[in-house]
């Protein structure tokens, strides 16, 4: 199979996660992604270990985000290096960066500057909060954007403090939006011959992620509230949420309340109609919580499934990764380095029925500088 | 010219995963035609997914389906199926999110569609993939969060597994589908050939956790340990999390604990000189910070932290956020109009192209609103009547 983005060259001036996760996806889909890094240290995420896990000199997490890329070191303040980067830009299709507003401008690499070097370039720029407005110079960090965007009031119960998502969800969704913009611009360029300027911000992506909640909130300011018991999603009525059982936890999605009453054989639910699932959400959920405690997850699942209700066991990664339903996906891939090998996930998108595996590791800092210089000579 | 001008998308999908993908394509300028079951349509129109109803349909349906067209057709009716085949012949992209086997039984599996239109991009979202013992389980967001381990990443260590309060797996799988579709449209521009994109919600849920899962795979399958206090991220050191202040909350991302000790005047924090302890002893450190930050207001702490470039933020709800200049400057709100004359305020695409936001003013369609228009535009009745004449003879 020909990978869809074969032949596309991407210059990644981005660091950390948002921009590099976009580069990772473009690489998975067949593009050649070259990280442009400072000679001293490069992408700071090389040194940003999570859980103190390292592979050689670089954080394991850097390897996770930057597999299948090349590294070209350049001091953009040095005239010779800058000329080389200009030459690279002439050959590139896409540029990504996620510096704060003004940084690329000061280096002479704003979209306007780059367009003069290569007018067909697709230039994707990620900021924290947009380039205008009073917040534009604030640090664009995932937890901070979660906090300012209202997202932390969607998770946990109503008596809890605001609660963040335990993953860098904003960096990830913004990187995904960047890929969408870049690819749409590449398609358009095939027809028009013209490049494009693609702008994103973490905050706009965070708000767009909550578009269902915002739209509902605009219609009724009282409608988006976390429930007191087993909150699953502020928009949804009882029983939506996760409940403790005698030996674990069970998730109940949206379902008819009287069917649930029959499945659980719970007479206390007799008094409720489907129309009550929002207005009496906490009352209903408290009854369900007290009932589910008394038996095991398997016991409840078999009753719920008998009634075709949407329910599932809550699993951790160990339980998940031992299950056939997980193994059949083949989501794990091994990436070999000189002295190590790393297991990581593959691209989640299957093309023409094939899973996309790669074995090229993340580059050491400047690994491809000489090779690329020769190509440019 | 819009980026996806002249691209025609036939969308059989319902709920959120597939429809959020076609919403994105529509924002880029594609024409999106929803194929819906006569009488009921996309289940999201009436499914009890929110307590707020507009014109008899859920608020959420309106958010997800703005700027699309609706063509009502019964896929089990041979005449309707024939019209859909004609529509597919004119399409660039076909999307569905039925459970595995359903489209094949209806005669609209990839192989059948490819025969009608060899250059089509066929895109399918499933819950758990097309094989394996989970393939027939319902692909529902909360259930996927529960099964994929995500719920063990949120909340503090004493708490039950906690789901993320947004349909994040639906949204990620829809967004991944868009990436696949666009990459194949790009390839088609070079090779002329169509292709197949498949995404499952479980694969998307795993990709979403790729950083943390890679730690799990390479660290002897150690499960995530949520912090006991103000947990923000199971894999990140103190002070990462949200703290209560005298009058509200403050978020602190990665920061130098010794600098925080100095800025907050917390003597006990000065003992944590070794950076490596900031992860291992994060609960002790966070407990000290929690106590200290409670003593003063959010504004006070921001005025101390921000000048020193500490990564911190206020914590806002929608009420507070939407009154901020920083929010208003983004112009995220758009108002769309349905053909019934209703105005609905919603959120635009987050992507700007050439300095312009992608936005439209058309609301979600009524069920079957565009049947006549689409039949005329794509001449769906022409051969049908001829077939009719032949069989009448």
Q: What is the pLDDT of residues B304-338, one digit of tens each?
A: 999 999 999 999 999 999 999 999 999 999 999 99
Whether B233 contacts A143, CB under 8 Å: yes
Whether B179 contacts B198, CB under 8 Å: no
Separation CA B185–CA A152 (nearest Å): 37
Contact A150 B317 (CB under 8 A): yes
Sign of the dihedral through C-alpha B173, B179, B184, B189:
positive
Enumerate the β-bridge partners of residue B313: B251
Nearest C-alpha in B relative to A144: B313
Whether A16 contacts B211, CB under 8 Å: no
Whether B127 contacts B138, CB under 8 Å: yes
Residues of B within 8 A of A50 (CB-CB) are 211-212, 215, 235-236
pLDDT, average across residues A105-121: 98
Residue A167 structure tokens: 């993953």
Enumerate the β-bridge partners of residue B196: B122
Nearest C-alpha in B relative to A230: B162
Whether B64 contacts B51, CB under 8 Å: no
Residue A118 has pLDDT above 90, yes or no: yes
Question: Percent of chain B beyond pLDDT 90?
Answer: 91
Contact A184 B165 (CB under 8 A): no
Residues of A within 8 A of B54 (CB-CB) are 219
Residue B134 has pLDDT above 90, yes or no: yes
Residues of B within 8 A of A250 (CB-CB) are 146
Residue A43 structure tokens: 């992408």
Residues of A within 8 A of B214 (CB-CB) are 60-61, 63-64, 342-345
Separation CA B182–CA B350 (nearest Å): 17
Give A96→chain B minimum CA distance, Å: 14
Residue A270 has pLDDT above 70, yes or no: yes
Contact A154 B166 (CB under 8 A): yes
Give A356→chain B minimum CA distance, Å: 12
Separation CA B351–CA A190 (nearest Å): 20
Nearest Cα neighbor of B179 from A13, A206, A351 is: A351
Contact B148 A138 (CB under 8 A): no
Nearest C-alpha in A relative to B146: A314
Sign of the dihedral through C-alpha A139, A143, A145, A150:
negative
Contact B50 A216 (CB under 8 A): yes
Using CA atoms, how far residue B295 sits from A89, B32, B240, in Å, is 53, 55, 19
pLDDT, average across residues A62-81: 97
C-alpha of B331 from chain center: 20
Residue A377, classified by CB atoms within 10 Å of its CB into exposed (0-12), middle (13-18) or buried (19+), is exposed
Residue B371 structure tokens: 């049947």
Find where tokens 């597919």 sit. B88
Whether A355 contacts A346, CB under 8 Å: yes
Give B187→chain A minimum CA distance, Å: 5
Q: What is the DSSP string of A53-106?
A: -EETTEEHHHHHHHTT-EEEE--TTSHHHHHHHHHHHHH-SEEEE-PPTTHHHH
Residues of A within 8 A of B4 (CB-CB) are 184, 187-188
The ipTM assigned to this model is 0.98
Contact A317 B221 (CB under 8 A): yes
Residue A254 structure tokens: 């949206």
Residues of B within 8 A of A228 (CB-CB) are none
What per-residue confidence (pLDDT) applies to A51?
A: 84
Listed in sequence order, the DSSP H helices in B9-128 are 17-27, 59-64, 78-89, 102-105, 110-116
Contact A214 B321 (CB under 8 A): no
CB pairs under 8 A between A and B: 478
Contact A208 B134 (CB under 8 A): no
Whether A16 contacts A41, CB under 8 Å: no
Separation CA A36–CA B344 (nearest Å): 44
What per-residue confidence (pLDDT) applies to A284?
A: 98
Q: Is A298 an active-site residue?
A: no
Whether B86 contacts A254, CB under 8 Å: no
Name the 3-class secondary structure at A45: helix
Report CA dihedral (B328, B332, B333, B334) to the nearest 10 degrees. 130
What per-residue confidence (pLDDT) applies to A196?
A: 98
Name the 3-class secondary structure at A20: helix
pLDDT tier at A338, thresholds 50, 70, 90: confident
Residues of B within 8 A of A344 (CB-CB) are 210, 213-214, 217
Report CA dihedral (A218, A201, A24, A56) to the nearest 10 degrees. -120
Name the 3-class secondary structure at A320: helix
Asked if the peptide bond before residue A78 counts as cis, ω within 30 degrees of 0, the response is no
Nearest Cα neighbor of B99 from B66, B138, B148, B47 is: B138
Using CA atoms, how far residue A213 sits from A150, A157, A176, B172, in Å, is 10, 16, 20, 16
What per-residue confidence (pLDDT) applies to B58?
A: 86
Residue A193 structure tokens: 């011959």
Residues of B within 8 A of A6 (CB-CB) are 187
Q: Give pLDDT tens digits for A210-227.
A: 999 999 999 998 889 999
* Other CB atoms within 10 A of residue B182 CB: 31
pLDDT, average across residues A10-20: 98
Picking from B149, B185, B345, the nearest residue to A317 by CB comes out as B149
pLDDT, average across residues B9-36: 98
Give A84→chain B minimum CA distance, Å: 27
Residue B385 has pLDDT above 70, yes or no: no
A75 Cβ neighbours under 8 A, 6+ residues apart: A38, A39, A81
Using only C-alpha atoms, what is the Rg of chain B?
26
What per-residue confidence (pLDDT) applies to A2?
A: 86
Give B235→chain A minimum CA distance, Å: 5
Residue B117 has pLDDT above 90, yes or no: yes
Contact A64 B214 (CB under 8 A): yes
Whether B82 contacts B119, CB under 8 Å: no
Picking from A163, A233, A313, the nearest residue to B166 by CB comes out as A233
Question: Percent of chain A beyond pLDDT 70?
Answer: 100
Residue B341, classified by CB atoms within 10 Å of its CB into exposed (0-12), middle (13-18) or buried (19+), is exposed
Residue A275 has pLDDT above 60, yes or no: yes
Choose, from A43, A58, A142, A171, the residue flagged as catalytic. A171
pLDDT, average across residues A52-68: 94
Picking from B59, B166, B330, the nearest residue to A215 by CB comes out as B59
What per-residue confidence (pLDDT) applies to A320?
A: 98
B193 Cβ neighbours under 8 A, 6+ residues apart: B118, B119, B187
pLDDT tier at B112, thresholds 50, 70, 90: very high
A216 Cβ neighbours under 8 A, 6+ residues apart: A223, A224, A235, B50, B52, B59, B60, B63
Q: Give pLDDT tens digits for B24-61.
A: 999 999 999 999 999 999 988 876 666 788 878 888 99
Determine which of A145, A215, A332 to mutate to test the interface with B (most B C-beta atoms within 10 Å).
Answer: A215
pLDDT, average across residues A263-268: 96
Residues of A within 8 A of B313 (CB-CB) are 138, 143-145, 147-148
Picking from B142, B224, B350, the nearest residue to A251 by CB comes out as B142
Contact B207 A345 (CB under 8 A): yes
pLDDT, average across residues A263-267: 96
Residues of B within 8 A of A324 (CB-CB) are 132-134
Contact B138 A207 (CB under 8 A): no
Contact B321 A316 (CB under 8 A): no
Contact A212 B50 (CB under 8 A): yes
> Which domains are delineated in chain A?
9-209+352-376 (3.40.50.10540)
Whether A239 contacts A285, CB under 8 Å: yes
> Which domains are delineated in chain B?
8-208+332-392 (3.40.50.10540), 241-315 (3.30.1540.10)
Residue B392 has pLDDT above 50, yes or no: no
What per-residue confidence (pLDDT) applies to A52?
A: 83
Which uninterrupted H or E stretch holds B147? Answer: helix B141-147
Sign of the dihedral through C-alpha B327, B330, B335, B336:
negative
What per-residue confidence (pLDDT) applies to B53?
A: 81
Give A152→chain B minimum CA distance, Å: 8
Phi, psi dihedrals of residue A275, rounded to the nearest 5°? -65, -15
Residue B250 has pLDDT above 80, yes or no: yes
What per-residue confidence (pLDDT) applies to B391?
A: 41
Picking from A143, A153, A320, the nearest residue to B232 by CB comes out as A143
How confident is the prediction for chain B on average, in pLDDT? 95
Enumerate the β-bridge partners of residue B227: none
Whether A113 contacts A187, CB under 8 Å: no
Nearest C-alpha in B relative to A65: B211
What per-residue confidence (pLDDT) applies to B141?
A: 98
Q: Which residue has the higher pLDDT, B151 or A56?
A: B151
Contact B179 A179 (CB under 8 A): yes
Nearest Cα neighbor of A245 from A305, A322, A311 is: A311
Give A370→chain B minimum CA distance, Å: 30
């Amino acid at each position: 199979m020909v990978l869809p983005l074969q032949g596309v060259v991407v210059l990644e001036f981005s660091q950390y996660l948002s921009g590099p996760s976009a580069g990772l996806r473009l690489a998975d889909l067949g593009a050649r992604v070259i990280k442009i890094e400072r000679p001293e240290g490069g992408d700071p995420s090389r040194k940003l270990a999570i859980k103190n896990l390292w592979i050689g000199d670089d954080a394991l997490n850097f390897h996770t985000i930057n597999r299948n890329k090349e590294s070209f070191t350049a001091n953009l303040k040095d005239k010779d290096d800058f000329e080389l980067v200009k030459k690279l830009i002439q050959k590139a299709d896409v540029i990504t960066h996620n510096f704060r507003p003004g940084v690329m401008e000061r280096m002479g690499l704003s979209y306007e500057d780059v367009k003069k070097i290569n007018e067909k370039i697709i230039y994707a720029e990620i900021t924290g909060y947009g380039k205008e407005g009073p917040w534009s110079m604030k640090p664009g960090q995932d937890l901070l954007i979660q906090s300012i965007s209202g997202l932390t009031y969607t998770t946990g119960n109503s008596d809890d403090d605001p609660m963040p998502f335990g993953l860098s969800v904003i960096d990830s969704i913004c990187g995904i939006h960047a890929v969408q913009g870049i690819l749409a611009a590449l398609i358009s360029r095939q027809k028009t011959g013209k490049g494009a300027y693609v702008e994103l911000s973490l905050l706009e992506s965070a708000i767009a992620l909550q578009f269902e909640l915002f739209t509902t909130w605009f219609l009724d300011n009282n409608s988006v509230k976390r429930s007191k018991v087993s909150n699953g999603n502020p928009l949804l009525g009882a029983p939506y949420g996760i409940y403790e059982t005698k030996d674990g936890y069970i998730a109940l999605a949206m379902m008819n309340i009287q069917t649930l009453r029959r499945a659980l054989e719970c007479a206390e639910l007799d008094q409720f109609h489907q129309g009550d699932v929002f207005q009496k959400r906490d009352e209903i959920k408290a009854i369900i919580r007290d009932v589910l405690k008394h038996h095991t997850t398997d016991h409840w699942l078999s009753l719920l499934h008998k009634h075709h209700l949407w329910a599932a066991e809550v699993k951790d990664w160990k339980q998940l990764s031992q299950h056939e339903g997980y193994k059949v996906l083949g989501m794990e891939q091994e990436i070999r380095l000189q002295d190590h090998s790393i297991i990581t996930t593959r691209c989640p998108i299957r093309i023409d029925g094939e899973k996309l595996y790669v074995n090229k590791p993340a580059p050491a800092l400047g690994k491809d500088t000489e090779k690329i210089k020769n190509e440019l000579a | 010219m819009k980026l996806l001008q002249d691209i025609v998308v036939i969308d059989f999908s319902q709920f959120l995963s597939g429809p959020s993908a076609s919403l994105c394509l529509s924002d880029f300028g594609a024409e999106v035609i929803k194929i819906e079951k006569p009488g009921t349509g996309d289940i999201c129109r009436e499914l009890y997914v929110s307590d707020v109803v507009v014109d008899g349909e859920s608020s959420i349906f309106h958010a997800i389906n703005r700027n699309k067209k609706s063509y009502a057709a019964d896929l089990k009716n041979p005449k309707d199926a024939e019209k859909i085949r004609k529509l597919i012949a004119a399409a660039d992209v076909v999307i569905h999110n039925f459970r595995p086997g359903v489209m094949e039984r209806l005669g609209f599996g990839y192989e059948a569609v490819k025969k009608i239109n060899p250059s089509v991009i066929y895109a399918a979202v499933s819950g758990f993939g097309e094989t394996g013992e989970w393939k027939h389980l319902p692909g529902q967001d909360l259930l996927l969060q529960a099964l994929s381990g995500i719920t063990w990443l949120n909340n503090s260590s004493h708490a039950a597994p906690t789901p993320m309060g947004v349909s994040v797996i639906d949204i990620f799988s829809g967004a991944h589908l868009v990436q696949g579709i666009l990459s194949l449209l790009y390839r088609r521009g070079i090779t002329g050939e169509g292709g197949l994109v498949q995404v499952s919600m479980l694969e998307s849920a795993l990709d979403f956790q790729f950083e943390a899962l890679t730690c799990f795979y390479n660290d002897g399958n150690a499960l995530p340990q949520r912090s006991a206090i103000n947990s923000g991220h199971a894999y990140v050191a103190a002070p990462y999390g949200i703290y209560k202040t005298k009058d509200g909350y403050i978020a602190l991302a990665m920061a130098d604990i010794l600098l925080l000790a100095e800025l907050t005047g917390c003597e006990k924090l000065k003992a944590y000189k070794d950076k490596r302890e900031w992860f291992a002893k994060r609960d002790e450190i966070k407990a000290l910070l929690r106590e200290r930050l409670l003593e003063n207001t959010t504004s006070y702490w921001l005025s101390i932290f921000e000048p020193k470039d500490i990564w911190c933020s206020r914590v806002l709800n929608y009420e507070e956020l939407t009154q901020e200049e920083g929010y208003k400057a983004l112009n995220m709100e758009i108002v769309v109009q349905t053909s019934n004359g209703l105005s609905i305020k919603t959120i635009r695409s987050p992507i700007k192209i050439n300095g312009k936001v992608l936005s439209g003013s058309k609301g979600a369609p009524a069920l079957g609103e565009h049947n006549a228009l689409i039949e005329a535009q794509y001449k769906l009745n022409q051969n049908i009547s001829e077939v009719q004449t032949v069989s009448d003879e």
